Amino acid sequence: MNTQHKAIRALIQTMAPNRAKDYIKSFDLPEEEELFLLECDVRRKSQVKAADDNHTTLEVVKKRKMSAYAHIADAINN
């Protein structure tokens, strides 16, 4: 995870849950990317728990989160 992605994650985790949810939704991310950011960074579920709860693999969760951070970083930088 690069430094900008870490900064985005830290920002989301410091926000109140409803504000963080609104912030994430403001980027119009693909459904799974939004879901896993909400599950892991807002609701503080582990990636393993998020994968189990959503009947997918840990690798899918990791890839979707990284893609979400990249989309948010692109939006912020433009």
pLDDT at 78: 85
Distance in angstroms (rounded) separating the CA atoms of residues 27 and 20: 12
- CA dihedral (61, 69, 67, 59) in degrees, to 10, reads -20
Q: How confident is the model at residue 57 (pLDDT cuts 50, 70, 90)?
A: very high
% of the chain at pLDDT higher than 90: 96
What is the distance of C-alpha 39 from the center of its chain?
A: 8
**Number of independent structural domains in the chain:** 1
- Mean local confidence (pLDDT), 15-40: 97
What is the distance of C-alpha 55 from the center of its chain?
A: 17
pLDDT at 42: 96
The whole domain housing 14 covers 3-77
Burial class (CB in 10 A: 0-12, 13-18, 19+), 5: middle
- Mean local confidence (pLDDT), 17-38: 97
- Mean local confidence (pLDDT), 30-45: 97
